[in-house]
Structure 1
Amino acid sequence: MFQLQEYKGSKEEQFALATAQLIALVEGESSRIANLANASALLGQFLKEINWAGFYLMEGDQLVLGPFQGLPACVRIPLGRGVCGTAALQRRTVRVDDVEQFPGHIACDAASRSEIVIPMIKYGELLGVLDIDSPLKNRFDEEDERLLEQFTAELVKRL
């Protein structure tokens, strides 16, 4: 399989290629779990310097672990708790440069130093969140945030 992380274009071009591959993987597939599994595998292959990429899905009033790439993770996260619960409760992307400075951070992987969480909202309903961790502080910038939000929006359209 073509490894996107070897592509030498701009970050914008790399994300465009990853998004095109995502659409090809999920278009026409009705299984939400299969689509999220392929999306997390694609992100795990495509993004450099990360140690976890996956999804938490809304079940009742909490987030429950969904498909992911990385070490075993926390299974249930209450809304408002940690970076994932905060992003879900506030329904906005939360980018944390240093997780040790985030009040209430949930340390599922002690190696994680920075994190970005993007809510997945469709027709006003919170489906869950995309969570990506890195072992590096300051791994995610404003451009990553914008491009990951676009990637997530394309995925949500197809869920």
Structure 2
Amino acid sequence: MTLKALKPKVEDIIKRNSASVDERLLDICKLLEEQVSYYNWVGFYFKNGVKNELKLGPYVGEPTDHTIIPFGKGICGQVAVSNKNFIVPDVAAQDNYIACSITVKAEIVIPIFINGENIGQIDIDSNTPDPFTENDERFLEFVCKKVSELMS
């Protein structure tokens, strides 16, 4: 299924008011992980209250010990500070990378904003080297926009 074809499915999940926010976020993770062959771990991290750290939200994929990530640490922590998309074609080449699994080759992290404030991010790991394109980036920005609407 193409990324474009996934957009209405993401919108349908967001509109499903009978489910909790976390259930809908988890369903988005499942949809992306199942439908995009190179999305091998899909999850959300959110700002942990007033602390300068991220807390793991709903996700699918291998279990992770990284349930709390300090701002500035790893790719997710860097996005929490920079407020910018971060695409890592080769995680082995990143000095500030937090390894979750030896199978992970690449990562993409896109921030989620509400009223201009970075409240979290979607984080995707891939076991395929350098799989992410501008299409992934634009699609995940769309997902994050929809998630921000859900959470505001």
Which TM-score applies when normalising by structure 1? 0.86
Q: Which residue of 2 aligns with 1:70?
A: 61
Secondary structure of 1:158's aligned partner: helix
Distance 2:126 2:132 in 1: 8
Query: Which one of the candidate residues 5, 14, 20 is aligned to 1:26?
Result: 14
Instruction: Find out whether 1:109 has 2:97 as its counterpart.
Output: no
Give unmatched runs, 5+ long, in structure 1: 1-6, 8-13
Shift in CA distance, 94/100, structure 1 to aligned 2, threshold 3 Å: same
Distance 1:143 1:44 in 2: 16
TM-superposed CA distance for 1:28, in Å, is: 4.9
Instruction: After superposing the two structures, state which structure 1 stretch, 25-34 or 135-144, moved more.
Output: 25-34
TM-superposed CA distance for 1:93, in Å, is: 0.6
TM-superposed CA distance for 1:17, in Å, is: 2.2
Instruction: Find out whether 1:126 has 2:94 as its counterpart.
Output: no
Percent pairwise identity? 32
CA RMSD of aligned residues (A): 1.4
Amino acid paired to 2:12: A
Matched residue count:
147
Amino acid paired to 1:125: E
Secondary structure of 1:132's aligned partner: strand
Q: Which residue of 2 aligns with 1:56?
A: 45
TM-superposed CA distance for 1:36, in Å, is: 1.1
Secondary structure of 1:38's aligned partner: helix
Tell whether the 8 Å contact from 1:23 to 1:155 is kept in structure 2 after alignment.
no
Give unmatched runs, 5+ long, in structure 2: none
Distance 2:115 2:95 in 1: 30
Distance 1:107 1:97 in 2: 14
Q: Which residue of 2 aligns with 1:4?
A: none
TM-superposed CA distance for 1:46, in Å, is: 1.5
TM-superposed CA distance for 1:63, in Å, is: 0.6
Amino acid paired to 1:69: V
Q: Which residue of 2 aligns with 1:157?
A: 149
TM-superposed CA distance for 1:23, in Å, is: 1.2
Distance 2:47 2:131 in 1: 26
Distance 2:32 2:119 in 1: 19
Secondary structure of 1:84's aligned partner: helix
1:9-65 superposed Cα distances (whole Å, 9 cap, x missing partner): xxxxx2232121111112152732122111111111121123201111110211111
Distance 1:152 1:17 in 2: 16
Secondary structure of 2:103's aligned partner: coil
TM-superposed CA distance for 1:125, in Å, is: 2.3
Amino acid paired to 2:40: N
Distance 2:99 2:127 in 1: 12
Query: Which one of the candidate residues 119, 130, 135 is aligned to 1:143?
Result: 135
